[in-house]
Amino acid sequence: MNFLPKAGWSIFAILVLGLLSPADTSAADADELRQMYVRFLSKKGWSPKVDEDGDVVFKTGDKTYFIDVHEKDDEFFMICLPNIWPIESATERVDVLKSADAANAKTMMAKVYTKSNNVWISVETFLADPRDFEGVFDRAFSAIKTATDNFVAGMK
């Protein structure tokens, strides 16, 4: 069964190969990403800096956040609020896990989890173009605040 004329197969093959090939996303290198994040956060008045791990750290209010810069995946975007709740006992860990589970179920996009003996909250996503982070930043940041509130309420 030949549903395409001979010339049509060539066009079809080009289209399929284009879909299967990795897209050129105008990938920025890690230093460009860092500078892009620093400029954006500076405009918000949050005095960002690049730490020894290469992440962009910023503080607002009494909380310190960071944007994780992945050297090998510029399409990955993550804002993180680390160390929001120390886990001081095995009994408290059970309560933390229950509260984290409830906050995860209730909050869109944010992820509440334990790392060593502390609770972290992050929003992680993939962006086809790394420059698109500006379009999702405020919503992602708000999701972290909401997840924090939901987690803390569960711990009380």
Question: How much is the pLDDT for 2?
Answer: 58
Q: How far apart are CA 107 and CA 25, in angstroms?
A: 30
CB of 107 closer than 8 Å to CB of 113: no
Question: How much is the pLDDT for 28?
Answer: 62
Is pLDDT at 76 greater than 90 in this prediction?
yes
pTM: 0.79
Q: What is the pLDDT of residues 15-71, one digit of tens each?
A: 444 444 444 434 468 999 999 999 999 999 999 999 999 999 999 999 999 999 988
Q: How far apart are CA 138 and CA 134, in angstroms?
A: 8
Mean pLDDT, rounded, for 79-104? 98
Q: How far apart are CA 54 and CA 67, in angstroms?
A: 9
